[in-house]
Chain A
């Protein structure tokens, strides 16, 4: 079974520039999550999709961050304009409801550096 795919793996941009990240979840997983992980911290949920609808975006800085999940499969997360404090790893995850409960599976992440 293929895992969660993300691209690019690394991105370096200057502040005030725009950047976009892409995620392809595990086939058949209806729920997709974007997390932000700042160095030395645990991941923090930015947005959760159920199919192509937003379930939770309460921690998404909506003045600069946006995300979409067209057709309920792939997703993109965009930052416009980027700030220095956006430097972090952006993790995408998808989840499957098993007999033992809901389990999230994570992609390798995109490491963003804002200069």
Chain B
């Protein structure tokens, strides 16, 4: 059974800092991995999607990497801003399925 773990559960940083969020998964037979952002009381916003054959994806200040063999992904946020404060969720799509298995998320607070 696929399990997704995100560390840390919560993170508080000063504005302008670069930071890394971690995601690990137990079964490396994944189709892709997706990072989402969730604001309080809101749904999920897709940030980046990495196919199993890819090593990384970039969008603006965000960079996500994937090491499928070791079951790890990282989300790098450069020059963090207070508007980046949210919960970040990692989800993997298993091969042969369209189901996403989510981690519990990392709650990020960026202090002005």
Chain A interface (Cβ < 8 Å from any Cβ of B): 4, 6, 31, 40-45, 48, 55-56, 91, 93, 95, 100-109, 111
Size band of the interface chain B makes with A: 20 to 34
Q: Contact: B43 with A42, CB < 8 Å?
A: no
Q: Contact: B104 with A106, CB < 8 Å?
A: no
> Bound state CA distance, A105 and B43, in angstroms?
9
Provide the residues of chain A in CB contact with B45, threshold 8 Å.
Answer: 106
**Which label, helix, strand, loop or mixed, suits the secondary structure of the A interface?**
strand
Q: Contact: A103 with B34, CB < 8 Å?
A: yes
Chain B interface (Cβ < 8 Å from any Cβ of A): 4, 31-32, 34, 36, 41-46, 49, 51, 89, 91, 93, 97-100, 102-105
Complex partner residue of B41 from A43, A103, A104, A111, CB under 8 angstroms: A111
Q: Contact: B98 with A42, CB < 8 Å?
A: no
Shortest Cβ distance from A40 into B: residue: B104
> Bound state CA distance, A55 and B104, in angstroms?
25
Cβ contacts A to B, 26 pairs, < 8 Å: A6-B43, A40-B104, A41-B104, A42-B4, A42-B89, A42-B102, A42-B104, A42-B105, A43-B44, A43-B89, A43-B100, A48-B99, A91-B44, A100-B49, A101-B49, A101-B51, A102-B31, A102-B32, A103-B46, A106-B36, A106-B43, A106-B46, A108-B42, A108-B43, A109-B43, A111-B41
